[in-house]
Structure 1
C-alpha cells in the first residue's frame, strides 16, 4: 500500500503514514504505483522542441528522437532557401557597364511563392515538433519506454 498524499510505501495495517502523517484509514487506499514515478529516460520539453524547430526547421524533431524526419526537414529547408534565392536573384540582368538594366518579375514571383510555401512548412513543423514531444512523453508515462 502507498500513501495517497506522498506516495511512500506503508504497512497495510498502519493508520497513519510514517513520512507525512496522512490518515490512511480515511478514503480509498492507494495500492497502485506511487504518484512520484521516476522514469528511466527524462521527459522531453515541448517548449524546447518548438524553440529548436523555430531556430532551424527539423531540429526539434531531432531533439525528440525522430532523427531521419528532422534531417529531411533540415534538407528541405536548405533546398528551398537555395532555390528561392536563385529564382529571386536569377531575374536580375546587369548590362555591360555593371548597372542593373532589368529585372524579370516572373522570377521574383516564383521565388516569393516558394518562400511563402516554406513559411507554411516552417510553422507546421514547429507544431509537429511540439506534438511529437507530447507523444513521446505520453508513451513514456504509460509504458516507461520511449515510443521510437
Structure 2
C-alpha cells in the first residue's frame, strides 16, 4: 500500500511518532512518543529545550523519508 510522504510528515509535525505509526512502524512511533514525553519532562532541567526540537524535527524528516522509501520499494503486479 502506498504511503503519502506529506501526510506522514504532517502527522509527525503535530504529534511526534504518529507519522511512523502511519507508515506501519508501530514500535518506532511508540518509542518516539515516549521519548518526547521524557524530553518534555527534561525541560524542567533545561536540556529538554534542546532535545525536544531535535527529536521533533528528526521525527518529521524520518516519517517523510520512510514513506518515500516504502513507495520506491513497492512492487507492482
TM-score, normalising length: structure 1: 0.48
Determine which of 70, 79, 83 is the counterpart of 2:38. Answer: 79
Larger Rg over CA atoms:
1
Are the aligned partners of 2:39 and 2:51 in contact in 1 as well (CA < 8 Å)? no
Higher helix share: 2
Determine which of 106, 113, 119 is the counterpart of 2:53. Answer: 119
Q: CA-to-partner distance for each residue in 1:53-82, whole Å, 9 max, x for gaps?
A: 000110000000111000000000112112
What's the Cα RMSD here?
A: 1.2
List alignment gaps of at least 5 residues for structure 2: none
Tell me, in whole angstroms, the C-alpha distance in 2 between the residues paired with 1:82 and 1:117: 11
Tell me, in whole angstroms, the C-alpha distance in 1 between the residues paired with 2:29 and 2:48: 20
Secondary structure in structure 1 of the residue aligned to 2:73: helix
Tell me, in whole angstroms, the C-alpha distance in 2 between the residues paired with 1:82 and 1:125: 18
Tell me, in whole angstroms, the C-alpha distance in 2 between the residues paired with 1:129 and 1:63: 9
Deviating above 4 A after TM superposition, structure 1's stretches of 4 or more consecutive aligned residues are none
List alignment gaps of at least 5 residues for structure 1: 1-40, 88-109
Higher strand share: 1
Tell me, in whole angstroms, the C-alpha distance in 2 between the residues paired with 1:133 and 1:58: 13
Match of 1:53 in 2: 12
Larger RCO: 1 or 2 (CA < 8 Å, sep 6+): 2
